[in-house]
Amino acid sequence: MTYSASPYIEERNGGLYIAGTRVSLDSVLINFRHGASPEKIVQAFSTLKMSQVYGAIAYYLENEK
């Protein structure tokens, strides 16, 4: 995947993370791909806000190949 700038995602230590958190983009996407709703993802990662989850999913969908 080629990644573009996003206010919801930041690159750190060679990985992609939800901006301002320690939650990786992959962690959110694994849940999403297994059918978890954004609401369930927020429950699973209590440090995330709903807008961050939707932003992460949108970022993935815009950049997937």
- With a threshold of 0.85, does the pTM exceed it? yes
* Predicted local confidence at residue 56, as pLDDT: 96
CB-based contact 7:17 (threshold 8 Å): no
Q: Per the structure block, which two tokens stand in for 2?
A: 């080629």
Q: pLDDT per residue over 16-60, tens digit each?
A: 999 999 999 999 999 999 999 999 999 999 999 999 999 999 999
- Pick from 57, 38, 37: which is nearest to 49 by CA? 38
- In degrees rounded to 5, what are phi and psi of residue 6? -150, 140
CA distance 9 to 2: 13
